[in-house]
Amino acid sequence: MAVFVEKTLQGLKELIDEKGRLKILGNEGALLETECIFFKGATDLEIESFEKKIKVSLPEDYKTFLKLHNGARIFDLLFYGENVGGGLHILNVEEIEKYMQNGFLKPQFIPVAHLLDGCYLLIDKTKMSTDPNYLWFRGFVEYEPMQLNFEIFLDRYIMSQGANFWEWNIYTAENYYRTHQGDED
């Protein structure tokens, strides 16, 4: 399996300005200003220590990300220059450990990121060594397999400029216009 996390992140970084800001095209032509923040990478020792604590060896693509950046915020929305959140918050190892200790997730999952209020990206510990599609999404209630790994999710998220690409297949022309009536404001 090729690991292209670094290439994807480098491409994004070439688009952002010196303040970490980037204008993107949102739904229906809306121009949005966003911010991307990348934190210092974790060392091999920090990752190994974390893996020992959780008794699991993390997937290579995700470890590659952690070595580059032990956490990030990608496509946070700016409103009049102020960060109002949104976007993708990729957790650092300390945050992951706290979320795992909270007990609000099923024990088979490792939370690696959150987006939207209460929605999480999860690594399924029971599948990651046997199934390359180990990433799951936990919405407000349900757990759903994404049929992706971390690096493919990250690549698609960046290519779609932070849009919920995993929901795109539910829109037909009929239900798109029916669900977006009155959004013209």
- Strand, helix or coil for residue 159: helix
Amino acid type, 128 = M
**Positive or negative: CA dihedral 113, 119, 121, 122:** positive
Q: Around 133, how many Cα atoms within 13 Å sit in the side-chain half-sphere?
A: 6
Does residue 184 fall inside a structural domain? no
d(CA 125, CA 59): 10
Q: What is the CATH number of the domain that holds 103?
A: 3.40.1580.10
**The pLDDT of residue 182:** 60
d(CA 184, CA 66): 41
Range of the domain at 153: 5-179
d(CA 8, CA 12): 6
pLDDT in tens, the chain (185 residues): 557 999 999 999 999 999 999 999 988 888 999 999 999 999 999 999 999 999 999 999 999 999 999 999 999 999 988 888 889 999 999 999 999 988 888 999 999 999 876 799 999 999 988 999 999 999 877 999 999 999 999 999 999 998 888 878 777 777 777 877 665 54
**The pLDDT of residue 78:** 92
Report yes or no on whether pTM surpasses 0.85. yes
Does residue 21 fall inside a structural domain? yes
Does residue 185 fall inside a structural domain? no
Q: Around 6, how many Cα atoms within 13 Å sit in the side-chain half-sphere?
A: 8
Does residue 60 fall inside a structural domain? yes
**The pLDDT of residue 39:** 97
